[in-house]
Amino acid sequence: MQCFHCGREVRETTHTQKGYRVDYYLLHTGRTEWAFLKDPKEDGATLHYLKLQDPIDIVSCADCYANPQIRQRLEQDFNGSASILNGEGVKAAEKNTSPQPDHG
């Protein structure tokens, strides 16, 4: 399994004498869309709910999970305000591409 954010390989949870070490977190999510359910009664309320389209498990490595930006994205997805799948993608492990000084 790979981290959804930075792509690194994550390890299974390892158990130690003191407890366990978690290397990744799993968010069960998917693409959602609003669905409407009309109450057949004449003045019944229209219910709307988020329908899960394609269930996806988002793997977040422990490093990315520690990143507040990513945590926020996960929380937004979890509470339905913004799907993590629709974003530009948080570049947690963006490489520092500033030019290196020329040693020569």
Is 90 a binding residue for Zn ion by CB under 5 A? The answer is no
Residue type, 70: I
Q: Smallest distance, Å, CB 3 to Zn ion?
A: 3
Name the residue among 16, 50, 25 with its Cα closest to residue 36: 50
Task: Work out how close the CB of 40 gets to Zn ion at its nearest, in angstroms, rounded to a whole number.
Answer: 48
Q: Where are the beta strands (DSSP E) in the chain?
A: 14-16, 19-21, 24-38, 46-61
Which position among 58, 64, 74, 84 is part of the footprint of Zn ion (CB under 5 A)? 64
Q: Under the criterion CB under 5 A, does residue 74 sit at the interface with Zn ion?
A: no
> Which residues make up the interface to Zn ion (CB under 5 A)?
3, 5-6, 61, 64
